[in-house]
Amino acid sequence: MNRTVSPAIAFSVAAVGIGFFSLMDAAMKDLVIALGAYNAVIWRNMIGTVLTGALFVGTKAAWPQIAVLRLHAWRSTVVAVMAISFFWALGRLPLAEAIGLSFIAPVIALYLAAILLGEKIGREAIIASIAGLGGVAIILFGKFSGEYSAEALWGVAAVLFSAIVYAYNLVLARQQAQVAGPIEIAFFQNLLVSCVLMLAGPWLLAPFALEKLPMLSAAAALAIIALLLLSWAYARAEAQILIPVEYTAFVWAALFGWLFFAEPVTVWTVAGTALIVTGSLVAARVKPHPVNQVEMASI
């Protein structure tokens, strides 16, 4: 199968995937406030395991080879750490502010892709990263010019830690997408993240909150849809093309924060978002490169 497609198509699919992830973030913010970060994440992933497991079995997907399973397990461990730290912070910061802080991740990942995947850093990708960071700086200046509580400061620290882990996760996503299909990735990520988090179950797991089943199911479904779309995109375009699309998450976060949590959208938000989108559009113009099979021996 020829996996090389127009970068604009891959970029657009990834942008829609980010939109679904951002809506999931809004649902998870509500769940974290009600259940705590650990229980919100593990119960969402358990429900996700059932949903993606049905897809995996229904499509008669082949069981992955050992080397691919090792990659699934490693990325799931990274995702578990990333998710707990980010969603813990999300319960202590406004949605848009948490997303804005996390934008350090795509820039780190852009250069990790060059180091770990041997991708060439193109001029357009660098311009897009600078524009995106400039937009983030404008937004953060407007958002974080007031006083902060100690809890909010810990939330900022947790987001920044999560962003560093997420940067590595983006590179792993590119490697994973080269050797596994979207449904396989979605199933094993939900399953293995649940297994990793269950190690802390004897101390942290609370009984299932039945009244939160609709919201947990919605969060799981949104995460699955987003993961399928992003896996498809990462299988067809280089990481440097798709990484800047992460910046569009702020557009979604500002919208959902306003709709669901009455978070105001300021002039600083509008100005920064305009610069972020400009950078993302520049990234979509990068010419496509052939997608090569990832060497699994070093994983």
CA distance 189 to 193: 6
Q: Between 218 and 279, name the one with better pLDDT.
A: 218
Average pLDDT over residues 9-16: 90
Q: Which residues are within 8 A (CB) of 4 and not within 5 positions of it... i.e. 6 or more apart?
A: 236, 288, 289, 290, 291
CA atoms of 195 and 45, how far apart (whole Å): 10
Whether the pLDDT of residue 23 is over 80: the answer is yes
pLDDT at residue number 206: 94
Phi first, then psi: what are they for 275, rounded to 5°?
Answer: -70, -40
Rounded Cα gap, residues 240 and 273, in angstroms: 20
Collect all residues with Cβ–Cβ distance below 8 Å to 101 and sequence separation of at least 6. Answer: 93, 140, 156, 159, 160, 163
% of the chain exceeding 70 in pLDDT: 87
Q: CB burial class (10 A; 0-12, 13-18, 19+) of residue 287?
A: exposed
How much is the pLDDT for 299?
Answer: 25
- 279 neighbors 131 (Cβ within 8 angstroms): yes
SS3 content of the chain, % helix, strand, coil (to 5): 80, 0, 20
Q: What is the pLDDT of residues 101-154, one digit of tens each?
A: 787 776 677 677 777 767 777 777 778 778 878 887 887 787 677 666 678 778
Could you report the per-residue pLDDT of 231-246, keeping only the tens digit for each?
788 788 876 778 778 7
Question: What pLDDT score was predicted for residue 283?
Answer: 60
Residue whose C-alpha is closest to residue 125's, from 226, 290, 20, 7 = 7
Number of neighbouring beta carbons within 10 Å of residue 225: 18
pLDDT-based confidence at 280, cuts 50/70/90? low
Residue 103: count of CB within 10 angstroms of its CB: 24
The token pair at 70 is 């090792």
Q: For the chain, give every domain's residue range.
A: 7-283
Q: Is the pLDDT of residue 22 over 80?
A: yes
Phi, psi for 148 (deg, rounded to 5): -125, 145
- Per the prediction, the chain carries an average pLDDT of 83
